[in-house]
Amino acid sequence: MMKRAAIAGKREAVLVDRPIPKPEGNEVLIKVHIAPMCTEYKMFLDGQPADALGHEAVGEVVETAQDGPFKPGDRVVAMPLTGCGTCELCLSGDYIHCLDNPMKDATMSQYVVKPAVCVRKIPDDIPYERAALACCGLGASYGAIRKLGVSAYDTLLVTGLGPVGLGAVINAKFCGARVIGVEMNPYRVELARKLGIDAVIDPRDPDAVQQIRALTGGVGPDCAIDCSGIPAAHRLCIDAVRRKGKVAFVGECHAETPIVVSRDMIRKGIHLIGSWHYNLNDYPDLMKVIRHSPLIDHFVTHVFPMSRIQEALEVSASQQCAKILLKPWE
């Protein structure tokens, strides 16, 4: 048996015993050393019972179902969710868009089974704590920045400076870009400043778009990434970005965002891009950010043993944090 984090009720988290899963086919069994926390606090606040929390992990391969690229003892990153491993999307590195993705995961656990297609080896010189940022911490915004083609010549607008948005600041600064953020949480504004953000705009200000344009000579940022998942932020990105600019949407949102095709896309000529994860062929380049960025040390603000899952989720829900790491064996 193994320990797994679970939601027992509204603002109530516990550990439960579950059977250790067995790998099948192209799967590997991973002993989880670190499970980064992401949006699980929403389930915590909602209170719907659940025992499949988490979608990020780093750890050690302990068993394989068949011969393949991994062997027991390999240190690995287990990417979010899953894929079939054989379709064109999986083979090209975009496994996250695989049609055979059941949208299930449970990495806040002592063991997890993953298909080999979404597992990558950790370079020997990178510790687990840093490698854990290769999933949602830095990976989500890294994929968007690659799609946008952000460079040192660009100004990037980032709406929502939660953990994913702060990761976008780190990635953009590694590219040498100028970064304007939109955020009203004082804790996260201050942390963004430590990460070297060039300016932060309060989204509650009715002149926010004008302020952003004023910072860019009246033209607007070259590109934007929304990490908030809020329709008002979507509109802010679309309205603020320059003509022929690009906007990538990273934050999950199930509400409607009004878009007028002629005004917003045809006449302005902007590109709207959905970006869920990153192509795994870019994994070695993301590891360069993790290895060399001096900003990484400010990004992880809390580390909890999984035995303190209640406290960890309370801190996550408070939003007085950036990336939180969970250690399942403590």
Span 201-217, average pLDDT: 97
Mean pLDDT (the chain, rounded): 97
192-222 residues labelled b (16+ CB within 10 A) or e (exposed) = beebebbbbbeeeeeebbeebbebbeeebbb
Q: Which residues contact 171 (CB under 8 A, 6 or more apart)?
A: 138, 141, 142, 145, 150, 289
Query: What residue has token string 């968007």?
Result: 144
Q: Which residues contact 288 (CB under 8 A, 6 or more apart)?
A: none
For 103: left if phi > 0, alpha if psi spans -120 to 50, otherwise beta; the answer is: left
Percent of the chain whose pLDDT exceeds 70: 100
What is the per-residue pLDDT across 94-153, written as a single tens digit (0 to 9) for each? 999 999 998 889 999 999 999 999 999 999 999 999 999 999 999 999 999 999 999 999
One-letter amino acid for residue 238 of the chain: I
What is the per-residue pLDDT across 271-322, written as a single tens digit (0 to 9) for each? 999 999 999 999 999 999 999 999 999 999 999 999 999 999 999 999 999 9
Q: What are phi and psi of 236, to 5 degrees?
A: -60, -45
266-299 residues labelled b (16+ CB within 10 A) or e (exposed) = eebebebbebebbbbeebeebbebbeebebbebb
Span 20-31, average pLDDT: 96
Specify the pLDDT at position 104: 85
What's the CA gap between 135 and 274, in Å, rounded? 17
